[in-house]
Amino acid sequence: MIERYTLPEMGALWGDEAKFRSWLEVEIEAARAMAKHKLIPAKAVKVIEKKADFDIDRINEIEAEVDHDVIAFLTSVSEFVGEEAKYLHFGMTSSDMLDTALALTLKRASAIIDKKLVTAIKQIRSLALKHKKTLCMGRTHGVLAEPTTAGLKFAVWYTELSRRRAMFKRATEGISVGMISGAVGNFANLDPMIETEVCRRLKLRPAEVSTQVIQRDRHAEYLTSLALVATSMEKFATEIRNLQRTEIGEMAEGFTKGQKGSSAMPHKKNPITAERITGIARLLRGYSLAAMENVPLWHERDIAHSSVERVILPDATTVLDYGLQKFIGLLSGLVVDRKRMLENIYYKGGVVFSQRLLLKLTGPVGSRDQAYRMVQHHAMAAVAGRGLFQENVSSDPDIGKYLSKREIDECFDLAYYMRHVDAVFKRVFGK
């Protein structure tokens, strides 16, 4: 991932030093387990534990000759260890080490991501409780529908991102598996207990069964969970973008002192963070598709997945980590304009109260269709600029035959739209 979208903690996790350190971690644990099961001498493991290290420049130099990154790594480690290095990687194949180390890295990347997910969920919860009864317009098809509350909008976000986190944690469990099973996964040269011991010490689960690789449906599920986290964030960001439109003006990104919105137009405040989150989601959906393409490999293994994963796994975790940080910043600086929300509710004299009036009128009129036409006539007139809806309805003698002025005014009472908000919040938040 480019430096612009790489935060230090996640970036370090995917750097060469961390990669080779995780490889060495697996190799040392494998040697310990083999010694415990008397496959290699215990005294050799003592030497390996004491001397094992690597030199990145040397690894690169060797790989340029042998064209095999694992052999280059093991050769470099052997130069540090000496004669006992012959017991490193004993009976193992490259993917035993690579896939187990990858599981360690993904698990650690997930811990970084999950912390930010928890923060974002807490922020949304706070916004929901703060704006529990902040009245605003609900819209369907992009058109004014009926009043709702901003708190209910945020409650929807809270439950959705909580679901995404639950899926992400399940997917993290799915990729937190290791294997030390040999060239085609049949344990021909290794006791399965060695795999069990290594995974236990690394806090991974042993794969129930493997080929030469851990099966890539796990990684596809993981990448899909990342993509869905980003897609939900995009959904929330898109709502903010729409509500920031000049014609609506109900929410907006924070605008810092000295910030400039446009190189040409000084009046501009653009939703650039929300738009960036949208772009990040597009990237992650692409990565999830690439991960699915990696699932069908030939027989017990090919390396068609390898080059793909060298890009998509570091990039996906890194860009989601960045996107979550931006999303957290967006939420913490979010501007909610209550005054503009009320103004929009009373657009054209409150045409959005038409359903309430329809329900009130249907019984006395005796025909829902007739009542609908009476209300629609005034709503469309108001939208077209011929008077204000509430005034037109109140002065209509035909409606006056069925409803008193007090009954008409009741239809424009905003408290009606908050009658059951407490019940919904109790269901979602427990209060």
Residues 270, 196 contacting (CB under 8 angstroms): no
Query: Which one of the listed residues 141, 267, 299, 420 is annotated catalytic?
Result: 141
DSSP state of 207: P
3-state secondary structure string, 385-412?
CCCCHHHHHHCCHHHHCCCCHHHHHHCC
**Neighbour-count burial of 372, counting CB atoms closer than 10 A to its CB (0-12 exposed, 13-18 middle, 19+ buried):** middle
Catalytic residue among 37, 262, 367, 395: 262
210 is a catalytic site residue: no
- What count of Cα atoms within 13 Å lies in the side-chain half-sphere of residue 131? 25
Q: Which amino acid is at 42?
A: A
User: Is 225 an active-site residue?
Assistant: no
Q: Which helix H or strand E contains 64, and what residues bound it? A: helix 56-66
CB 421 within 8 A of CB 152: yes
d(CA 154, CA 251): 12
Which sign, positive or negative, has the C-alpha torsion 49, 51, 52, 53? positive
Give the integer Cα–Cα distance in Å for 38 and 43.
Answer: 11
The whole-angstrom separation of Cα 166 and Cα 121 is 12
CA-based nearest residue to 183, from 347, 70, 301: 301
Can you tell me which residue has the tokens 């439950």?
159
Active-site annotation, residues? 141, 262
